[in-house]
Chains A and B, each alone.
Chain A
């Protein structure tokens, strides 16, 4: 019976938390794809704003990782 204790403690919010965490992990993968996308785009046209746009994509990846960690820790 002890093995099933975790099942009794399972609430809707715990489920939501882990759904959110899995969703955020997928979102982090998407953030990596955006970095690749920005690279492909900035290869096509060299412009003065390319550096800024690339930096934004990296900041976005950092934020996505931070949100995933935040969801695991805080929720």
Chain B
């Protein structure tokens, strides 16, 4: 049976319909808000992106990340203990390097076969290198980080023992720095203590370079975040 009514086909436009591009505001084109905030705080504190004191004082370092870092979070300060605090184990390492030569000159190993002396010395030197390596690792990876949102204290106290403390910049109170003694005053390093409102009352960065600047930057960041919160941003 022939169809009585055939519905006309809707006109098909050949032009491909593309979704409208999202309109970017001026702020979005400039970049995320926290970048401006960090730049402003560093400018006010008289700092700029740099690495100083043999990597113990890194301001706004590039290419560094830490565990559980959030997408809208950037490292403003990365601090390690001042390199001078490594002098103790470096001296011990030097002593360990020189010890076999010294003991050989005393003649106490005259009765020991050469092959035992050879292997013994090799083992000793490898253990010396590893002692230094271990000390270096603990120094290098025990860091105190200030981001645009939090304070992060990463400590390695033992083999495989990692202790990470986070403190939100909105919850900190009374940051203070402590410097004292001849060496600390001369090399400008000391401790930074930050009281928080959490159960873990204090976050500390011990023996870090320029503690006054660290406290200044933390205070400014905290203040700026507080202002943003008050503005409802």
Whether the pair A60, B160 counts as a contact (CB closer than 8 A) is no
Whether the pair A75, B67 counts as a contact (CB closer than 8 A) is no
- As a 0/1 sequence over residues 18 to 42 of chain A, the CB contacts with chain B under 8 angstroms (1 = contact) are 0010001001000101101110111
Q: Looking across the interface, which residue of chain B has its beta carbon closest to that of A24?
A: B123
B162 CB contact (under 8 Å) in A24, A27, A40, A63: A40
Q: Does B84 contact A (CB under 8 A)?
A: no
In the complex, chain B residues whose CB is within 8 Å of the CB of A1: none
Q: Does B193 contact A (CB under 8 A)?
A: no
B119 CB contact (under 8 Å) in A38, A41, A56, A74: A74
B126 CB contact (under 8 Å) in A20, A43, A63: A63
Distance, CA A34 to CA B158, complexed state (A) = 11
A45 CB contact (under 8 Å) in B119, B133, B154: B154
In the complex, chain B residues whose CB is within 8 Å of the CB of A17: 116
Whether the pair A37, B160 counts as a contact (CB closer than 8 A) is yes
Whether the pair B119, A47 counts as a contact (CB closer than 8 A) is no
In the complex, chain B residues whose CB is within 8 Å of the CB of A33: 159-160
Majority-rule SS of B interface residues: helix
- As a 0/1 sequence over residues 95 to 129 of chain B, the CB contacts with chain A under 8 angstroms (1 = contact) are 00000000000000000010110111011001101
Q: Does B130 contact A (CB under 8 A)?
A: yes
In the complex, chain A residues whose CB is within 8 Å of the CB of B129: 60
Q: Does B17 contact A (CB under 8 A)?
A: no
Number of A residues near B (Cβ < 8 Å) is 33
A44 CB contact (under 8 Å) in B115, B126, B141: B141
Please judge, given known A-B contacts A13-B113, A41-B137, A60-B130, whether A20 and B123 are in contact too, CB under 8 Å. Answer: yes
Distance, CA A74 to CA B117, complexed state (A) = 11
A16 CB contact (under 8 Å) in B65, B116, B141: B116
Whether the pair A48, B119 counts as a contact (CB closer than 8 A) is no
Q: Looking across the interface, which residue of chain A has its beta carbon closest to that of B143?
A: A45
A48 to chain B, nearest CB (A): 6
Whether the pair A67, B156 counts as a contact (CB closer than 8 A) is no
Q: Taking beta carbons and an 8 Å cutoff, which residues of B are in contact with A?
A: 63-67, 113, 115-116, 118-120, 122-123, 126-127, 129-130, 133-134, 137, 140-141, 143, 154, 156, 159-160, 162, 164
Q: With A49-B140, A63-B126 given, can you name 7 additional A-B contacts, CB distance below 8 Å? A: A24-B123, A37-B160, A45-B154, A46-B64, A53-B137, A60-B133, A64-B126
Q: Taking beta carbons and an 8 Å cutoff, which residues of A are in contact with B?
A: 13, 16-17, 20, 24, 27, 31, 33-34, 36-38, 40-49, 53, 56-57, 60, 63-64, 67, 70-71, 74-75
Closest 3 CB pairs of A and B: A46-B65, A41-B141, A44-B67
